[in-house]
């Protein structure tokens, strides 16, 4: 093997090593983003589980606010039934559920007996805690997705991304209602 052959072999090894490192980096980042989404999913499931209890407690006090309660139940049902693989629809359904919960809490504010109910206070605390966890998990997910998406666009990772079909992942963006400042107090 001559000098040219050795140089060619070294170049091929460097390219192969670059492809391997690039591929492994993108797989790692994509899996971290998927894991971050799974963390959001866990908190969303917890929120879905809390809502029926919240509605049941509220029903005792606010019989004539049936429309608000039914909207919350419908929004929860839609959020639970959305195809887990349809990311955009899932985000839309969760944002709608957040809006209906806000309207429920606005109604609760008008009922002092409901606000003072021990079970309602406990459910509210659990829901607030869950919402905080969702917000943290959403931020973590968006950070991981941004890192992954950035790598898929940077040279030489963009070559590897194109060769092995690494596509951009969507961010979990807030809906218009989520962008407004909201205060929920009991």
CATH code, 124: 1.20.1440.20
Query: Are residues 26 and 150 in contact, defined by beta-carbon separation less than 8 angstroms?
Result: no
For residue 58, how many other CB atoms are within 10 A of its CB? 23
Residue 120 has pLDDT above 70, yes or no: yes
Residue 114 has pLDDT above 80, yes or no: no
Residue 182 has pLDDT above 80, yes or no: no
- Residues spanned by the domain of 85: 18-179
Summary mean pLDDT of the chain: 85
* Helix/strand/coil percent split, the chain, to 5: 80, 0, 20
For residue 111, the 8-state DSSP code is -
Give the tens place of pLDDT for each residue, 18-70: 899 999 999 999 999 999 999 988 998 988 898 888 888 887 777 667 788 88
Q: In total, how many domains does the chain have?
A: 1
Rounded to whole angstroms, the Cα distance separating 60 from 58 reads 5
pTM of the model: 0.74
């Amino acid at each position: 093997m001559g000098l040219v052959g050795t140089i060619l072999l070294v170049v091929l090894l460097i390219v192969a090593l670059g492809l391997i490192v690039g591929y492994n980096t993108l797989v790692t980042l994509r899996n971290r983003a998927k894991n971050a989404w799974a963390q959001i999913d866990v908190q969303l499931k917890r929120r879905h589980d809390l809502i029926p209890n919240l509605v049941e407690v509220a029903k005792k006090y606010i019989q004539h606010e049936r429309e608000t309660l039914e909207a919350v139940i419908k929004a929860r049902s839609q959020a639970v039934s959305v195809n887990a693989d349809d990311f955009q629809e899932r985000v839309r359904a969760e944002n709608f559920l957040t809006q209906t919960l806000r309207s429920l809490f606005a109604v609760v504010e008008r009922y002092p007996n409901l606000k003072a109910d021990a079970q309602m206070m406990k459910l509210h605390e659990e829901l607030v805690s869950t919402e905080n966890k969702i917000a943290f998990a959403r931020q973590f997910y968006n950070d991981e997705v941004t890192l992954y998406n950035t790598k898929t666009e940077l040279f030489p990772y963009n070559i590897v991304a194109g060769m092995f079909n690494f596509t951009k992942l969507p961010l979990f963006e807030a809906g218009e209602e989520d962008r407004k400042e909201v205060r929920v107090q009991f």
